[in-house]
Amino acid sequence: MPFPYKRVLVVGATSDIGEALASRFVAEGANVMAVGRRKENLVAFVHKHGKDKATAVPFDITELDKIPNFATNIASTYGDLDCILMNSGNQRGVDFSKPDTVNMDVIETEYKTNYLSFLALTKAFLPFLQNKQQESALML
């Protein structure tokens, strides 16, 4: 079955699974907006696939207060956006048997990246997707 979406926003497209999925979407004929913190990786993604198939969108999803404006800007610039994939994530080892080694800042960043940002992105993009006349998707 062919991939049904034509313009896809991939959050967490700078490496690993996110980059691989973004590349696969391009191969399936979609125009991909690659989102991530690492500009050099985004530039490399666009260079690899071409500006006609890929766009770099530098953004740090842990800046939760900036997500509403980010979503508004994306939706107004790319009205044909029909699919959003949220793939960002990180995981650090934490050993609570050694409490002195536990860094709460690291845990907070992980929580923001893996959970709170997805909730904020969903809240920000859902009205846009709900108002679309054609099929759209929000994938986690």
pLDDT of residue 1: 74
Cβ atoms of 9 and 81 closer than 8 Å: yes
**67: left (phi > 0), else alpha (psi -120 to 50), else beta?**
alpha
For residue range 33-56, list pLDDT tens digits in order: 999 999 999 999 999 999 999 999
Full-model pTM: 0.91
| pLDDT surpasses 80 at 97 | yes
Cβ burial 85-97 (10 Å sphere, 16+ → b, else e): bbbbbeeeeeeee
**Is residue 17 very low, low, confident or very high in pLDDT (cuts 50, 70, 90)?**
very high
Please give the structure tokens belonging to residue 14: 């700078």
